[in-house]
Amino acid sequence: MAPAYKVSYFNITALGEPIRFLFSYGGIEFEDIRIEKEQWPQHKSKMPFGQMPVLEYNGKVAHQSLAICRYLAKQVKLVGKDDWEDLEIDAAVDTVNDLRQKLGGYHYEADEKIKKARGEILFKETLPYYIEKLNAQAEKNGGHLACNRLTWADIFLAGLLQYMNFMAQKDITENAPALKKVYEQVCELPNIKKWLQNRPKTEI
């Protein structure tokens, strides 16, 4: 039988990978549809708001990667034990996502002069600021981003890290041991480890 869930995304990690991590963590089978860049124009108009990742389930279609992750986190029980814990998890996820967007604003800038100016601010101010704060948060939470235990905020960070490092052209956790621990602990989870060994090899 075909898996009940289908995920469509580009053949890269990036925004698709936290979703794939969550499926893998929960041992939930999913169809891992990867659309090559050259095929994208013929798919774009069929996607809600012309974007991926997209989740299909039971004939229904949903987009927005964070929303999809939150839905899956509920299925695999990586959410908070009360509303305030969920708020702390959501805030951590949104903060990691803010950092991802800031890295993207630098990496994808086509104008070299603007890119250089953005890089100045990013690498001297923004990135160190975020990393220091996130590292302190991970220290306070015993190697996790929230709630002193594994939640989907950790999975989200770990799934996105390769992409964020690619955009920064360095390991952004290099001077942030507690944050690095968040990542390493996720990668050591048996189901994630298996996914990392077996997933398609891609450049990003």
Interface positions with a copy of itself (CB under 8 A)? 48-50, 55, 57, 60, 62-64, 66-68, 70-71, 74-75, 83-84, 86-88, 90-91, 93-95, 101, 114, 129-130, 133
**Residue 37 burial by CB count (10 A; 0-12/13-18/19+): exposed, middle or buried?**
exposed
- Check: CB of residue 126 under 8 Å from CB of residue 102: yes
Smaller CB separation from a copy of itself, 67 or 204: 67
Helix or strand holding residue 157 (H, E): helix 152-168
Residues in the chain: 204
Report the nearest approach of a copy of itself to the CB of residue 152 (Å).
13
Smaller CB separation from a copy of itself, 90 or 171: 90
Residues in CB range of 29: below 8 A, 6 or more apart: 3, 4, 5, 23
Q: Which of 7, 163, 137, 152 is nearest to 80 (CA)?
A: 152
Report the nearest approach of a copy of itself to the CB of residue 137 (Å).
9
Report the nearest approach of a copy of itself to the CB of residue 70 (Å).
6
Smaller CB separation from a copy of itself, 33 or 76: 76
Report the nearest approach of a copy of itself to the CB of residue 184 (Å).
24
Smaller CB separation from a copy of itself, 5 or 195: 5
